[in-house]
């Protein structure tokens, strides 16, 4: 269900996490108190929950910091600001990747950045849904064109993007982030985020990519019930320490944009050492699923092309370019 203008005004009032009387909300929105109650109930469809107490009013169960285009732009460094053609913040999209894929196919230029507060059809790998409650996490996509590179030459981009995200989180003093080949972010064995890159173009160039990032900042428990694997979010990692979503958004762009812009020159080689330093799979027994094939073994890191190295029971080591990795009985 699309978010309405009334709901947007209601959220702007409730975002501070304080109690607001029904009378106050009704007056501000020009609605009856019974209509306000209906608007509040509609918020649950966005993954938001509220508390109502007689004599005190209503408040959101979790304070919201809504994304603000001006605040994100103010947090960008000069290089990122110069490289970004357009930065958009949407209340709601089906998915940020789908939105920019449409722009890509319509011929839009490189350097468009898109955030959404809520996704109605967020995408993970292999068509899985990405749980996307309103105003809680980071849903980000970047459209980029690579005029000098073919599809094979940007094959390691997801690993470089993973490195850029770990750099950004380290800059914000968030430690202990691990990467799971080829495109997941983990903390203490639990999934924190994921990268989804959709490419198009020619084998010998040029090509284009829509680079998507989903990062859990605050994932409400009621929404997390839909997730079928161990998960975490930045709120659980940081404890009492708070993080601004707008600061986080700008910091991510300050680290993502230079990596993407330089990738045609550097390739994956510039990021191998950093990726290996935070490899969360190396040395672990795992299963690699490629179509209907299951390969069991021990992960031995990545090779210099970013391919996954698996050691089989007979001691042989083979490199794989694609597949889904499952470890510790978790569903990838």
Binding residues for biotin: 95-97, 119, 191
Six token digits for residue 68: 């603000």
Question: Which residue is it, tokens 């700008």?
Answer: 250
Q: Which segments of 135-234 are extended strands (E)?
A: 138-146, 177-180, 184-187, 190-201, 207-215
Render 101-146 in DSSP notation, one character per residue.
Answer: HHHHHTTPPS-EEEEES-BSS-B-GGG-B----TTTSEEEEEEEEE
Determine the Cα–Cα distance for residues 239 and 212; give it in Å rounded to an integer: 27
Nearest to 278, CA basis, from 154, 192, 198:
192
The C-alpha atoms of residue 274 and residue 279 are separated, in whole angstroms, by: 9
Tokens of 283: 């040395």
Pairing of strands 57-60, 86-90: unpaired
Q: Residues for the chain: how many in total? A: 332
- Structural contact between residues 279 and 302, judged by C-beta atoms closer than 8 angstroms: yes
| DSSP assignments along 286-324, one per residue | EEEEETTEEEEEEEEEE-TTSPEEEE-TTS-EEEESS-E
Token representation of residue 235: 């709120």
CA distance from start to end of the chain: 29
State the Cα–Cα distance between residues 257 and 68, nearest whole angstrom.
19
Pull the structure tokens for residue 199: 């490419």
As annotated, the binding site includes 95-97, 119, 191
């Amino acid at each position: 269900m699309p978010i309405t203008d009334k709901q947007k005004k209601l959220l702007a009032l409730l975002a501070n996490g304080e109690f607001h009387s029904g009378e106050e909300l009704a007056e501000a929105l020009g609605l009856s108190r019974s209509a306000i109650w209906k608007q509040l109930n509609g918020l649950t469809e966005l993954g938001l929950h509220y508390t109502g107490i007689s004599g005190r009013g209503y408040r959101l169960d979790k304070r919201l910091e809504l994304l603000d285009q001006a605040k994100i732009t103010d947090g960008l460094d000069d290089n990122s600001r110069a490289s970004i053609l357009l930065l958009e913040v949407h209340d709601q999209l089906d998915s940020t990747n789908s939105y920019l894929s449409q722009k890509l196919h319509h011929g839009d230029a490189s350097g468009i950045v898109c955030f959404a507060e809520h996704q109605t059809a967020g995408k993970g790998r292999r068509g899985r849904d990405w749980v996307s409650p309103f105003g809680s996490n980071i849903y980000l996509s970047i459209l980029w064109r690579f005029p000098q590179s073919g599809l094979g030459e940007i094959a390691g981009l997801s690993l470089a993007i993973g490195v850029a995200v770990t750099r950004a989180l380290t800059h914000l003093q968030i430690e202990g982030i691990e990467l799971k080949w080829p495109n997941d972010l983990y903390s203490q064995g639990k999934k924190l985020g994921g990268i989804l890159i959709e490419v198009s173009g020619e084998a010998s160039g040029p090509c284009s990519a829509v680079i998507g990032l989903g990062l859990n900042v605050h994932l409400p428990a009621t929404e997390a019930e839909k997730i079928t694997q161990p998960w975490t979010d930045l709120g659980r990692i940081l404890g009492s320490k708070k993080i601004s979503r707008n600061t986080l958004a700008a910091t991510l762009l300050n680290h993502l944009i230079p990596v993407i812009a330089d990738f045609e020159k550097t390739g994956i080689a510039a990021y191998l050492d950093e990726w290996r330093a935070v490899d969360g799979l190396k040395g672990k027994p795992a299963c690699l699923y490629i179509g209907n094939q299951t390969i069991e073994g021990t992960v031995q890191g990545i090779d210099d092309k970013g391919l996954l190295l698996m050691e089989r029971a007979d001691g042989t080591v083979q490199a794989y370019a694609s597949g889904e990795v499952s470890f510790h009985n978790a569903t990838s």
